[in-house]
């Protein structure tokens, strides 16, 4: 950028002031050129020079404040990141492996992600603390990283290599076990039933741990950085939103949930609602056959006695559930 030094320019200042102005904005041109382009920078510079002295000084202060805030925000978001790579025995990146970020203190799950192309994974917006990483993949032995401290700056983990279990077999037992995270062409599935997440959590806490899902301080949901997530229960849209939805999710225990489907690009069978995708919470089905029921009776003595009662009966077979 070339600034013409003319004493009678509408800037009305000296050559020294012009150079001071250019010196202030030069770092921002380097930092923000990829985002806003040189044209925007030149336009803002010319706007400053071609204004009155008092207005130009005020605009300069405002622009410096705005650009400084953007720079700090961008640096903060980028800094709160933990990245790494998962490889197999041959040194090839392992795709779709489940990576769990655990607290080093008690091994509780903080966040779950699945590895992408070339086995790369990343955790974003993580609070400072001491953590370790767990890798699991069907047919491979679970592997843990060394514990490490996360202080807010970018942490690049050493590549973690997982291998198939070895040893002599005394017998063969065929078992079937679902992975914690399933990656499919149209959605990602977080299996809850039969995993460590099936006890001691509510639905909102499970969503907080789910890959790609963010929960802010007001319990609002976002998916892949976008607001307007549509929540479904067993394939049907929930009429709840805002605080009502958050309260419902908090009251739903993880022991009631079978799986959570995260759909970033919904197909035509879903209603065109929301612009960030769909979260479908699949509840466990009651598979108990037969007749069962419950009865309740209460009595309260105050100025006048009060009482109430109720009865609930249920019958279920292969074709009827009443």
Least confident residue range of 19-33, 134-148, 280-294, 298-312: 19-33
173 pLDDT more than 70 = no
Angstrom CA distances, 104 to 100, 109, 149, 195, 207, stand at 12, 10, 9, 19, 21
pLDDT at residue 3 in the model: 42
Whole-number mean pLDDT of the chain? 76
Q: Which residues of 283-310 are buried (b: 16+ CB within 10 A; e: fewer)?
A: eeeeeeeeeeeeeeeeeeeeeeeeeeee
pLDDT in tens, 42-80: 544 444 444 444 556 676 777 767 766 665 554 444 447
Q: H/E/C letters for each residue in the chain?
A: CCCCCCCCCCCCCCHHHHHHHHHHHHHHHHHHHHHHHHHHHHHHHHHHHCCCHHHHHHHHHHHHHHHHHHHHHHHHHHHCEEEEEEECCCCCECCCCEEEEEECCCCCEEEEEECCHHHEEEEECCCCEEEEEEEECCCCCCEECCCEEECCCCEECCCEECCCCCCCCCCCCCCCCCCCEEECCCCEEEECCCCHHHCCCEHHHHHHHCCCEEECCCCCEEECCEECCEEEECCEECCCCHHHHHHHHHHCEHHHEEEEEEECCCCCCCCCCCCCCEEEEEECCCCCCEEEEEEEEEEEECCCEEEEEEEEEEEECCCCEC
pLDDT at residue 82 in the model: 92
pLDDT in tens, 219-270: 889 888 888 889 999 988 898 888 899 999 999 888 889 999 999 888 777 7
Across 153-161, average pLDDT:
92
CB–CB of 58/46 below 8 Å? Answer: no
Q: Which residue did the predictor score with more confidence, 315 or 237?
A: 237
CB–CB of 216/222 below 8 Å? Answer: yes
pLDDT at residue 99 in the model: 93
């Amino acid at each position: 950028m070339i600034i013409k030094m003319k004493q009678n320019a509408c800037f009305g200042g000296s050559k020294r002031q012009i150079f001071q102005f250019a010196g202030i904005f030069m770092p921002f041109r380097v930092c923000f050129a990829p985002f806003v382009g040189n044209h925007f920078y030149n336009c803002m510079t010319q706007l400053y020079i071609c204004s009155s002295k008092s207005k130009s000084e005020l605009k300069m202060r405002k622009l410096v404040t705005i650009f400084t805030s953007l720079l700090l925000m961008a640096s903060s978001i980028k800094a709160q990141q933990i990245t790494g790579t998962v490889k197999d025995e041959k040194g090839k990146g392992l795709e779709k492996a489940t990576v769990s970020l655990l607290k080093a203190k008690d091994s509780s799950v903080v966040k779950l992600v699945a590895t992408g192309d070339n086995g790369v994974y990343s955790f974003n917006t993580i609070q400072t603390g001491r953590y370790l990483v767990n890798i699991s993949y069907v047919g491979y032995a679970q592997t843990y990283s060394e514990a490490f401290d996360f202080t807010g700056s970018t942490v690049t983990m050493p590549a973690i290599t997982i291998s198939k279990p070895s040893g002599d077999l005394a017998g063969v037992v065929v078992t079937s076990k679902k992975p914690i995270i399933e990656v499919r062409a149209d959605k990602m599935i977080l299996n809850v039933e039969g995993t460590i997440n099936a006890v001691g959590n509510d639905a909102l806490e499970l969503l907080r741990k789910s890959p790609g899902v963010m929960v802010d301080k007001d319990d609002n949901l976002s998916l892949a950085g976008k607001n307007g997530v549509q929540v479904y229960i067993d394939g049907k849209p929930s009429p709840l939103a805002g605080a009502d939805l958050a309260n419902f999710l908090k009251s739903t225990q993880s022991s009631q949930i079978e799986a959570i489907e995260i759909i970033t690009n919904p197909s035509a069978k879903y209603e065109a609602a929301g612009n960030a995708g769909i979260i479908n919470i699949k509840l466990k089905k009651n598979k108990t056959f037969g007749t069962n029921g419950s009865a309740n009776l209460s009595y309260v003595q105050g100025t006048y006695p009060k009482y109430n009662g109720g009865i609930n009966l249920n019958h279920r077979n292969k074709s009827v559930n009443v």
